[in-house]
Amino acid sequence: MNARRPSYLGFGKEKYAWKSDVDYRAHPELYRVGKGEQGVLICQPYKSVIGPLWRFKNPDIALESAEAIYELFSGFMDVGDFVGADLARKYLQMGYTRARRYANYKGGRKYDKANDYAMLERGTGEQLKAGSAAVFYDYWQKAEDHPGYKRAKADWKKAYG
C-alpha cells in the first residue's frame, strides 16, 4: 500500500473492536477505549444521543455544541457511565480534529483520490473553522483532565482494554 494513502483504505471491519449491532449501554463490558476517536461513530445508543449535538460550522455553533456534549460527559461521569463519558470525550476530540481538517484543507479533503491519494495543499481551508477547533480543544482538554475520568479510564483499560 502506498505510504501516502489514507489509513481508511483497506479497513478491516471484521477486526475492528467496535460493532454497530452491540448496545453498549446494555453491554458496556464489550466496549474498548482504543486510540483517539475509534468507535465514536459506531457505538450505540451513545452515537444517537451525542452525534446530533456535534456541530462545528462556526465558533458560536461549536461553543453551543461543545458545551452540550461536555454536559453529557459530566452527566455520564455523575452516574458512573464510563462508556458514555468516554464517547462524549471522543466527540469533543473529534470536534477539534475535524474542525482543524476543515481549517487546513478546502472542503476538509486531505487527499487527492484522483492522483494516487497525494496530499492536497495545506492552508486552503476556512479559517473560521480554526476558531471552532479551539473551542472543541478547550472542552476536550477539560474532559481529559477530569480527575474522575482519568481514574475511570485507567481502571477500564485495566479491566477490559
pLDDT tops 90 at residue 4: no
Could you give the residue ranges of the DSSP H alpha helices within 15-146? 46-50, 59-78, 82-104, 128-144
- Grid coordinates representing 25 are 449501554
80 belongs to a structural domain = yes
136 belongs to a structural domain = yes
pLDDT tops 60 at residue 3: no
Note the pTM of the prediction, 2 decimals: 0.87
143 belongs to a structural domain = yes
d(CA 37, CA 47) in angstroms, rounded, equals 12
What pLDDT score does 1 carry? 42
56 belongs to a structural domain = yes
Task: Give the total number of structural domains in the chain.
Answer: 1
161 belongs to a structural domain = no
Q: What is the pLDDT confidence band of residue 23, given thresholds at 50, 70 and 90?
A: very high
pLDDT in tens, 42-53: 999 999 999 999
pLDDT in tens, 75-96: 999 999 999 999 999 999 999 9
Q: Supply the range of the domain harboring residue 91.
A: 37-103+130-156
6 belongs to a structural domain = no
62 belongs to a structural domain = yes
123 belongs to a structural domain = no
Lowest mean pLDDT among 39-43, 104-108, 134-138, 153-157: 104-108
